[in-house]
Structures are given as C-alpha cells and as structure tokens.
C-alpha cells in the first residue's frame, strides 16, 4: 500500500441501530487502524448514533526511524518541546473536516457530531475542533496532547467552537504520553475555551490504552452531548 490518500481504505463504520440523528468520528492512534476502535465503540453504542472510525494514511514516521505505518501526521519526538509537523497536522485537520462535511451531506448536521480520538488521533481531533468553522457537539480526547499548542489562542480566535464540551481522559501510568501532557493540555484548553466545559478524568493504574471505566465515561459523555431527538 502506498502512502497517498487515494489508497486509504474506507472507514470502519458502525451504523446506528435505528435512524441516525448523530455521529461520532473517532481517530485511532499511531500504527493502528480504525477497526479496533470500531469494536470498542460497538460495546458502548447509543442506538441513534452512527460511529465512523477512519484509517490513517501510511507514511514514514520520524520517531520510529522513518518506518512506514498508519499515521495522521509525522511525529518527530515525544517531548513537550519536540519539533512538530506543522504542514502535516494542518493537512490532516483539513482531511478530517472533509469527513465531517461528508456526514453533513449524509444528513447529520455538524452540531450533532462528536469528534474523538486516542493518542495521535485524539491530538488531531482537538486541533481540528479548535480550528474548524464547523460547529461540533463535543470532543473525546483520550491519552493525548494538543498539537501546535503555541499557535493558540490565535489559531482558534475565530473558531465557532468556543463553548464546545470536551472530555479529556488519561491513564495515570501512561509511559508514552505522560499524564503531565494531559494536564498541560487541559490547562491550555481551559485558558482558550469555556473552562466549565472542559472535563479531565484520570484512571489509576492505566497505561497507554483504554479501560472499561473510561469507555463508560465516554458513553455517558456521548449520551449527554448527543441526546436523542424525535
């Protein structure tokens, strides 16, 4: 499989159990695909919600000695001051905005769409939500960070999502994306958004993965932000 966008397979989709009046677009982490998260979300599905788990394009990743793997953008390092892939992050966000537009064309208004993701996917979901002109219902950001954080608040100055609800979750024992990254991110988000709408939950003993308690918290957040409409 080559690295251009034409070769990315179609997203893994869990259709709504009844008429879809809302959607969750969830972005996987580095080196993964959408299938695992589609399975995880199926376990907490809400009947009127459609779940879309796209697959990242395959590209060389600097952090992993330029080995090719599914990645939303290049990662050069994992320290807070590591150089970032500016163009790659912005381009990836445009691609996600395109996915949101696609659902709007399918009849689900953007304000009935939650954007979410894990690790690199969570980072991209935060960046996209803060820089898009599409009004979103919320963001689920798991074990992640805010990319290009020094470009905020300027980058989000005209964002329509000033009052967006964010559920940010992090494992207290995460060795890859340390809890400190999550704490710094939540502080930054509260400084540029309505702080009352930014929720931060941590999980004792959890490493760089998910757990059932976290998934129940995600389900509750989805039910709150995407209530059923008749």
140-183 tens-digit pLDDT: 999 999 999 999 888 887 789 999 999 999 999 999 999 999 99
Q: Is residue 36 part of a domain?
A: yes
Structure tokens at 57: 């394009």
Q: Are 190 and 222 in contact (CB under 8 A)?
A: no
- The number of folded domains in the chain is 1
> Is 165 designated active site?
no
Boundaries of domain holding 191: 5-225
Q: Is residue 230 part of a domain?
A: no
User: Which is the catalytic residue, given 35, 55, 111, 208?
Assistant: 208
For 100-121, what is the mean pLDDT? 97
For 92-96, what is the mean pLDDT? 97
Residue 30, pLDDT > 80, answer yes
CB atoms inside a 10 Å sphere around CB 149 = 18
User: Which is the catalytic residue, given 143, 174, 210, 217?
Assistant: 174
Strands (E) located in the chain: 12-14, 22-27, 49-53, 58-61, 67-70, 113-118, 138-142, 166-171, 198-203
Q: Is residue 165 part of a domain?
A: yes
Structure tokens at 39: 């399975």
Q: Is residue 80 part of a domain?
A: yes
> Is 125 designated active site?
no
Report residue 7's pLDDT band, with 50, 70 and 90 as the boundaries: low
- Strand 22-27 to strand 12-14: parallel, antiparallel, or no bridges (unpaired)? unpaired
Q: Is residue 158 part of a domain?
A: yes
For 31-43, what is the mean pLDDT? 96
Q: Is residue 23 part of a domain?
A: yes
**The CATH number of the domain where 13 resides is what?**
3.40.50.1820
Q: Is residue 79 part of a domain?
A: yes
Determine the pLDDT at residue 5. 47
Q: Which residue has the higher pLDDT, 51 or 151?
A: 51
Determine the pLDDT at residue 217. 98
For 208-222, what is the mean pLDDT? 97
User: Which is the catalytic residue, given 119, 156, 159, 210?
Assistant: 119
Q: Is residue 98 part of a domain?
A: yes
Q: Is the dihedral of CA 165, 125, 116, 145 positive or negative?
A: negative
For 203-216, what is the mean pLDDT? 97
**Whole-angstrom distance, CA of residue 87 vs CA of residue 170:** 27
Determine the pLDDT at residue 137. 98
> Is 32 designated active site?
no
Determine the pLDDT at residue 4. 45
**Whole-angstrom distance, CA of residue 161 vs CA of residue 193:** 8
């Amino acid at each position: 499989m080559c690295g251009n966008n034409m070769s990315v397979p179609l997203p893994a989709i869990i259709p709504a159990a009844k008429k879809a009046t809302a959607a969750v677009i969830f972005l996987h982490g580095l080196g993964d695909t959408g299938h695992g998260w589609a399975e995880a979300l199926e376990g907490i599905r809400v009947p009127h919600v459609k779940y879309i788990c796209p697959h990242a394009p395959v590209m060389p990743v600097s952090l992993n000695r330029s080995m090719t793997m599914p990645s939303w953008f290049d990662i050069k390092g994992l320290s807070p001051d590591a150089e970032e892939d500016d163009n790659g992050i912005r381009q990836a966000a445009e691609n996600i905005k395109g996915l949101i537009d696609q659902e709007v064309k399918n009849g689900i208004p953007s304000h009935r769409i939650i954007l979410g993701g894990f690790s690199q996917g969570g980072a991209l979901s935060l960046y996209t939500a803060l820089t898009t002109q599409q009004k979103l219902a919320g963001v689920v950001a798991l074990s992640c960070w805010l990319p290009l954080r020094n470009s905020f608040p300027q980058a989000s100055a005209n964002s329509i999502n000033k009052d967006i609800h964010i559920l940010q979750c992090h494992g207290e024992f995460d060795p890859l994306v340390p809890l400190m990254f999550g704490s710094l991110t939540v502080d930054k988000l509260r400084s540029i958004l309505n702080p009352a709408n930014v929720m931060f939950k941590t999980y004792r003993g959890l490493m760089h993965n998910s757990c059932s308690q976290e998934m129940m918290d995600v389900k509750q957040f989805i039910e709150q932000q995407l209530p059923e409409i008749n």
